[in-house]
Amino acid sequence: MASLSRALRVAATRPPLSPARRPGLCPLSSGAHPTAEKNVPYQRTLKEEAGPSAAARGPSRPLPSTADVVVIGGGSLGCQTLYHLAKLGVRGALLLERERLTSGTTWHTAGLLWQLRPSDVEVELLAHTRRVVSRDLPEETGLHAGWVQNGGLFIASSQQRLLEYQRLMSLGKAYGVESHVLSPAETKALYPLMNVDDLYGTLYVPHDGTMDPAGTCSALARAAATRGAQIIENCPVTGIRVRTDDFGVRRVAAVETEHGSIQTPRVVNCAGVWAGAVGRMAGVKVPLVAMHHAYVVTERIEGIQNMPNVRDHDASIYLRLQGDALSVGGYEANPIFWEEVSDKFAFGLFDLDWEVFAQHIEGAVNRVPVLEKTGVKSTVCGPESFTPDHKPLMGEAPELRGFFLGCGFNSAGMMLGGGCGQELAHWVVHGRPEKDMYSYDIRRFHCSLTGHQRWVRERSHESYARNYAVVFPHDEPLAGRSMRTGPLHQELLAQGCMFQERHGWERPGWFTPEGTAPIKQECLACRGAAAVFDMSYFGKFYLVGEDASKAADWLFSADVSRPPGSTVYTCMLNHRGGTESDLTVSRLAPGPRGSPLAPAFEGDGYYLAVGGAAVQHNWSYILSVLQDRRFRCQLIDSSEDLGLISIQGPASRAILREVLDADLSNEAFPFSTHKLVTAAGHLVRAMRLSFVGELGWELHIPRPSCVPVYRAVMAAGAKHGLVPAGYRAIDNLSIEKGYRHWHADLRPDDSPLEAGLAFACKLKAATPFLGREALEEQRAQGLRRRLVCFTVDERVPIFGLEAIWRDGHVVGHTRRAGFGFAIDKSIAYGYVRDPSGGLVSPDFVKSGDYALERMGVTYPAQAHLKSPFDPDNKRVKGIY
């Protein structure tokens, strides 16, 4: 067999890549290369001997006429979802597989499971997968589910990488994941065949391991079947039948196959690489691409037995123990796209392009030098699906009710399968997952992006190539930029704005008139004089119509049934009392106007301003509640029609007095109110609100008027010290004040009571609202966790995910962190639990001795029930 060193030499002697191929896409190579058989390294697969096609064989069992849920695709996610649906008591769950279980992508996967990732939710998902394959399935079925616990080793070839691993170790302590940072000498003792000369250290997780695809999926299938679920193989799906209800809502009606139809109200698309084709059957856009993903299996290596699996992120490779051999793979910068996805592809493999794969060989040989003279037994190059942000696609599609996604797992479907299968089952049965799955929810992408093939392709390519890159707190993507820009984009660009991208929208990050990132200057200018923030990327919706007040009472946790001219900060909850969103709701007066500022409506009307990064999530969630409750009202999206600038700071009133034709005194324009006023001759909606803890107003402006109004504000503010500022400053200012950020310290699995937002819940009134019963139960039982503010006197940067220590015990981890320039301290927020399982009262919080563990080092911290900055809220009232 050819050795890895020969493969590298052959690849190196090839002509340089043409400009058209560097650094873009590589076609399959047709030149000479080392030969090796194409075969997966598993003793057992579910592949049948060559024979007639699935269609010719016919389904493995008769089709039922109806099913409660139909799962399409029998890979890791499909089997895990079916298993968890059955565990939730869904006896009419059915899985359809066009070939055999695991065919397509699962059968050839490497099956690695690493317990630590830079996401608390993913750590929880991975922990559940590990429990399912290592404990639950063997106990339930008596089968070995293919779990091998040989440990995992992360390699740090730089100081930055080692710091990242130390951060993971600190997070792991909050979840009971054992891990150890090892020196190069300790690493050598653990893994004698490893070259450690260029290492700064490693992170060793002894309970990591691997899964066998056939063993895991077979055990899942048996466990699901014992609970009444059905699996039908050799049954390709040919269509999704859709019906439109009497409210005009599209809903799933049936699944069509070559052998008949099955009536069902719910479909789960777990078709992997083929998920896009299944989505098209239903009119649903699935933003993923198919790429070749490869690894090679070596011949036997003396002394490799029982070694841990290795991830060398800096070399972009992994080394998976395969008995007495290794599987070597990674993520290359120039992946090969599978342009024409074949619906006949089942247990096939592609020819390996050694020119593309060669970049992994050098890193592998450097890390384990014995590989240089080790033969290649087989090559495994199969299709995998990848997404624009390297996160899976899950949840109910916004285009079709009852159509759920469980696909796009970026070659991590085995290790995330258990946790995601459980959450997807809860999504289908209860309407929402148990955990915060927003990062995986298909509704994280704006509807204008999911069908944009160039954006999906470019961003997926970049995410694939950067999969092993160090995760920096403020990193920004480079691909697929400027998809959506606000009305002030060119104006801000001329002022030296550096933009951040959030789901296609370019928003101001910070301003660099002199080449540096002056976050501190922007923050202190806001606290001392005034700053203007372009927040045009916010979502702006109108909720109007006959049942608008009934809908608002049900949707919003706070009391929004106030007179026209009032603005209320509120949450939207799910049935478990978790926070789906926080937003402002402004009551409108009816009138004949028909402009973006005042649409014509009959009945009641509300204006909703929601965070820009979650516009699609908010839109879809509100719409689904309106549909399910059959409210007779209309939701109008005016996000593109309106701009939004916010002028904040002690000088904001003086500045705006020169621009607005309105009395801005406290008596005439109190906090949490809004008015239609004229600004520099243009009609705008002014709201007295603040998200940074200062006196200030928001101006909601028709798009054509944004530039002249902005220029008038800047001109009036010149003598008052007004500066333009971006979202980096907003983040620091808001955390200093203690304002919550949705999906950071306020998520769908956090209740407003736990987050200190009881004031935003109308529990003293008798009005029913979504999530009320859950909050009342939680209030009666007491809080088991509570969001706490921490400050650290020592000047060290805090980023989030630090372990929280109280009296020598880990009681949680930080969710969000930043620096308060006004108080000159690092600030962090995190949920605190009692390790003994007791209630977390204010006295419990105040009585502890706290520290935050940052990258393996603990720093004394002070706990606060409210932010130490302006705790009496004087500044937002204009009292300085």
> Using one digit for the tens of pLDDT, what is the confidence trace for 256-303?
999 999 999 999 999 999 999 999 999 999 999 999 999 999 999 999
Mean pLDDT of 525-541: 97
Mean pLDDT of 784-812: 97
Lowest mean pLDDT segment, chosen from 55-64, 321-330, 523-532: 55-64
Extract the runs of DSSP E, i.e. beta strands, from 703-824. 722-725, 785-792, 803-806, 809-820
Quickly state the pLDDT bin for 16 (edges 50, 70, 90): very low
The answer to whether the CB of 392 falls within 8 A of the CB of 420 is yes
Quickly state the pLDDT bin for 232 (edges 50, 70, 90): very high
> Using one digit for the tens of pLDDT, what is the confidence trace for 176-207?
999 999 999 999 999 999 999 999 999 999 99
Mean pLDDT of 17-30: 32
SS3 readout for 724-747: EECHHHHHHHHHHHCCCCECCCEC
> Using one digit for the tens of pLDDT, what is the confidence trace for 109-144?
999 999 999 999 999 999 999 999 999 999 999 999
Q: What is the pLDDT at residue 300?
A: 96
Q: What is the pLDDT at residue 7?
A: 61
23 has a pLDDT exceeding 50: no
CA dihedral 654, 660, 661, 665 (to 10 degrees): -40
Q: What element of type H or E holds 363?
A: helix 354-367
The type of residue at 576 is R
Mean pLDDT of 78-96: 97
Mean pLDDT of 796-809: 96
Q: What element of type H or E holds 508?
A: strand 505-511
Quickly state the pLDDT bin for 42 (edges 50, 70, 90): confident
List the beta bridge partners of residue 255. 240, 262
Q: What is the pLDDT at residue 593?
A: 72
Quickly state the pLDDT bin for 24 (edges 50, 70, 90): very low
Query: What share of the chain has pLDDT > 90, as a percent?
Result: 90
Mean pLDDT, the chain, whole residue set: 93
> Using one digit for the tens of pLDDT, what is the confidence trace for 825-855?
999 999 999 999 999 999 999 999 999 999 9
| Pairwise CA distance, residues 383 & 365, whole Å | 25
> Using one digit for the tens of pLDDT, what is the confidence trace for 135-176?
999 999 999 999 999 999 999 999 999 999 999 999 999 999
Q: What is the pLDDT at residue 35?
A: 58
Q: What does the DSSP assignment read for 93-127? A: EEEE-SSSTTTTTGGG---EE-S--S-HHHHHHHH
15 has a pLDDT exceeding 60: no
Global pTM reads 0.94
CA separation, residue 861 to residues 163, 784, 842, 848 (Å):
21, 21, 17, 10
76 has a pLDDT exceeding 50: yes
Mean pLDDT of 573-583: 97
Kindly give, in sequence order, each residue whose CB lies less than 8 Å from that of residue 100, ignoring residues fewer than 6 positions away.
46, 47, 48, 74, 233, 234, 346, 347
List the beta bridge partners of residue 457. none
Lowest mean pLDDT segment, chosen from 18-27, 317-326, 489-498, 779-788: 18-27
Two tokens, residue 155: 């390699």
Q: What element of type H or E holds 55?
A: helix 54-57
The answer to whether the CB of 200 falls within 8 A of the CB of 162 is yes
**Short-list 81, 108, 112, 116, CA closest to 95:** 81
SS3 readout for 522-571: HHHHHHHCEEEEECCCCEEEEEEECCHHHHHHHHECCCCCCCCCEEEEEE
Q: What is the pLDDT at residue 68?
A: 98
Task: Report the helix count and the strand count for the chain, using DSSP H and E.
Answer: 22, 40
HSE on the CB side for 748, CA within 13 Å? Answer: 21
> Using one digit for the tens of pLDDT, what is the confidence trace for 663-720?
999 999 999 999 999 999 999 999 999 999 999 999 999 999 999 999 999 999 999 9
48 has a pLDDT exceeding 60: no
Quickly state the pLDDT bin for 595 (edges 50, 70, 90): confident
Q: What is the pLDDT at residue 727?
A: 96
| Pairwise CA distance, residues 770 & 576, whole Å | 9
Extract the runs of DSSP E, i.e. beta strands, from 216-301. 230-232, 237-244, 250-257, 260-263, 267-269, 289-298
31 has a pLDDT exceeding 50: no
Two tokens, residue 674: 């809004």
Kindly give, in sequence order, each residue whose CB lies less than 8 Å from that of residue 639, ignoring residues fewer than 6 positions away.
538, 539, 540, 541, 615
List the beta bridge partners of residue 290. 385
Q: What is the pLDDT at residue 40?
A: 85
The answer to whether the CB of 14 falls within 8 A of the CB of 326 is no
Quickly state the pLDDT bin for 21 (edges 50, 70, 90): very low
**Short-list 443, 533, 543, CA closest to 486:** 533
Q: What does the DSSP assignment read for 174-206? A: HTT---EEE-HHHHHHH-TTS--TT-SEEEEET
49 has a pLDDT exceeding 50: no
Q: Parallel, antiparallel, or unpaired: how do β-strands 403-407 and 325-330 relate?
A: unpaired
| Pairwise CA distance, residues 131 & 134, whole Å | 5
